[in-house]
A = this chain, B = another copy of it.
């Protein structure tokens, strides 16, 4: 069931009350069960019980902000719907205007840097609402903030326009068949679903329980019937090399690997605090650890006919993973690739059908996902349908136009995604997940995780209770068992440190991996426009100790 009200990003004022009303607006909310409400924009258009904000109310907004998204703002000129429709990117100066609620926006220049590519042009000259119902990642405060920066006017009420904006598919929406999720997850985005566990829940056990494992979906969760499932391996020309049923796959030797998976955007909230970035504001929980069970990708590739093996596989430089999750608008599937050398370094690249001994849950790729130990989560493609041997990286948006990082000096005007490699192995990270004060002993106990990509073990975690002036070594829970270059799961750690005599303090942690790589000090120096790979020292302000 699609859940509407739990998003932390939706301010109640925006979702339910800070709305505009227009003449002729049909109030449909009350007549629809909540399960069919598939966009927060419903509330914007459908709630007619509040009066139009007076000019004085609207003008309290001095700067573009999410709070006034879609509201009428008296300082701006008013446009007729027909005028907005004429800016459809094809006529005259080819400018692109769109509407959202009572707002009119010029997105001509923005379109070039739109994270979703030129999908935005589908809304050219019309209302955004129907499109945002399909691409519900727009259900986020930061999206509305960007939108308001593009404001050029107010829309004059128009019956036909409103009908179009409200044109809800009465069939169940693309997100109608999402799985039921744990209420303990902190929701960063409803549709596609993005959520992380509370940090302190991560350090209870070495393995993250399946229902707490962070979820980073890019599309609706597909409904896959196991008896219909096929895993295909194709060559660069699309020729089928291997086609397996789920049962076929399970007949191959089962391998189990403990591996941490982390979203490249983990701890984006700190980068966003430095300077606004696009994407969900993960708080540090977009990382989890599980034992994955499945067949080795190498074993599956070995099933291809020997001629194909020797010719196709040896010529492949990349392994492209294609998911069965599809874009509700375009039908495109999620896809991403890894360089083939990863397979030589990491024997246990798995096509996993088990997670912590259980059947892989739907949110994590049921029935089969790629698990590439030591590599960014974006390449561990869920609902895996095809593996394509290729001379090139995946041509998907997520491989070519996302999940790459840049210098702090690069912005959306200057970025060239071909200039940075796709993120594969990840840098060393650590976070403080929990802390508590022992008032009698005057000590602070801290626990957290540390991890590094490429199988690098964690050799040390340093903690500080004075913002990084002095350091103490934390105790690693699994120091002894780590392999130098084949440690794919995280290292949890604990420390007890003397509390400062009084007042505020800042707890800090930083980790060192087996190549003695360590973490940068401040998020400022690694800021990048996509808000990725924040592995700065993790800091927790403590108000009173």
Contact = CB atoms under 8 A, between A and B. Distances in A.
Interface in A479-522: 484-486, 510, 512, 514-522
Given A484-B341, A484-B424, A407 B515 contact: no
A95 interface: no
Interface string A394-437: 00000000000111111000000000110111111000000000
Interface stretch (A247-255, A282-290, A466-474): A466-474
Interface string A453-469: 11000011010000010
A525 interface: yes
Interface residues of A, number: 45
Copies in the complex: 2
B472 A407 contact: yes
A533 interface: yes
Contacts of A427: 515-518
Contacts of A341: 484-486
A282 B1 CA distance: 64
A345 interface: yes
Given A420-B459, A484-B339, A405 B525 contact: no
Interface string A520-545: 11100110000001010000000000
A132 to B, nearest CB: 32
A284 to B, nearest CB: 18
17 contacts: A345-B485, A405-B512, A405-B516, A407-B472, A408-B462, A408-B470, A409-B470, A409-B471, A409-B473, A420-B460, A425-B485, A425-B515, A425-B516, A427-B517, A427-B518, A518-B526, A520-B520
Given A409-B471, A410-B473, A425-B485, 10 more contacts: A407-B472, A408-B471, A409-B472, A421-B514, A426-B515, A517-B517, A518-B525, A518-B535, A520-B520, A521-B521
